[in-house]
Structure 1
Amino acid sequence: MIIQKTYYPTTALEDWVTNFYLRLNIQLPQEINEDNIAKEQRIFLHRKKIAPFYQIVGRYRGITIDIRESKNMQREMFFHELCHILRHSGNQILMNKAFRELQEWDTKNFTKYAAIPHHMIQYIPLTDENVIDHMVSIFKVTPKLCEERLIQIKKGINQSSLKNCVLTLN
């Protein structure tokens, strides 16, 4: 069921994530599945009682997520590590601090966009007073991430509305 259509100018990273999902034929929130995404990308997905990490050794690519965390947090861990594999290169231990921080900034935003992609905003009841609870239920991530993403979405909508208002006045 489509709740509403909501559009705003997207970032290049939002577009990248949407295009990634559409190439995988992921169009609905329930189609976001870590195991399927990993399989499609030829990434081995491991769940263990250790801190999350990714690994690339030759042709092997793997993500390990911590099963001691909640399912919703595990999903966020997966997106974080997936971003490193898909978008980054180099060993962070050997990188200068500024480049490492840039990669972590990219990963933090990628996680929000991969968890709640722009092309699925239409399924979020933005005007509902329990919108965060709905987002948690729909996208299977933590309330904290949902709140952060909701702030981004509303900011984008407000900026778009302000821009349209200015254009109308001219």
Structure 2
Amino acid sequence: MYNKMGITKPSLINEQTISRYFEIFLKKKPMNSSFHIFGRYRDIVIDEREPLEKQREIFFHELCHILRHAGIQSMMPTAFRELQEWDAQHFTQYAAIPHHMLKYIPFQEHDVVNQMSLMFQVSPELCEMRLEQVKRRLQTTRNITY
């Protein structure tokens, strides 16, 4: 997806570019974040009172709901709503810190989390979650025997 948009390195990840690509209006207002779909019209509203790194995470979370989910959460069973939220959390990790950009991360540095946070413009907490996911994936791959 990012390569088609010309997003090849962390500094090029841009909410406006991604929104335009998917024909989604992006708005920042002093109100709770949300997404809306009315026929072909789609928008994401981000709470501008949040820190910038949190705004980026909110954007990816709401983008996931638009691209991958259907239905009105308030009308669906709790388990299904929780599944959608779980999916949106994981989507946020992958979209904010994409696999093909892991090569830019200085894994050997003692302050890797802070460097990732600055590089990808997301919270250190999200970076820690993504690092743990990468470590788990590597361990799983190493444990596979052929």
Sort the TM-score into its range (normalised by shorter chain).
over 0.9
Instruction: Choose which of 91, 111, 118 in structure 1 pairs with 2:72.
Output: 91
Question: 1:23: how far off?
Answer: 3.0
Q: What is the one-letter code of the residue matched to 1:50?
A: M
Structure 1: state its 5+ residue gaps.
1-19
Question: 1:24: how far off?
Answer: 2.4
- Once residues 142 and 42 of structure 2 are traced to their aligned partners in structure 1, the CA distance between those partners, rounded to angstroms, is 43
Structure 2: state its 5+ residue gaps.
none
Q: What is the one-letter code of the residue matched to 1:114?
A: A
Q: Give the match for residue 126 of structure 2.
A: 145
Instruction: Choose which of 117, 136, 140 in structure 2 pairs with 1:159.
Output: 140
User: Identical aligned pairs, as a percentage?
Assistant: 49
TM-score, normalised via structure 2 length: 0.96
Question: 1:126: how far off?
Answer: 1.0
Q: What is the one-letter code of the residue matched to 1:62?
A: D
Correspondences of 1:40-55 after superposition (within 5 Å): 40-55=21-36
SS of residue in 2 equivalent to 1:65: strand
Aligned-residue CA RMSD (Å): 1.0
Structure exhibiting the larger radius of gyration computed from Cα positions: 1
Instruction: Choose which of 46, 59, 67 in structure 2 pairs with 1:78.
Output: 59
Q: What is the one-letter code of the residue matched to 2:64?
A: C
More contact order relative to length (CA 8 Å, sep ≥ 6) = 1
Q: Kindly indicate whether the alpha-carbon contact (under 8 Å) linking 2:5 and 2:17 is maintained by their aligned counterparts in 1.
A: no
Question: 1:123: how far off?
Answer: 0.7
Q: What is the one-letter code of the residue matched to 1:60?
A: Y
Q: Give the match for residue 10 of structure 2.
A: 29
Question: 1:22: how far off?
Answer: 2.7
Q: What is the one-letter code of the residue matched to 2:111?
A: N
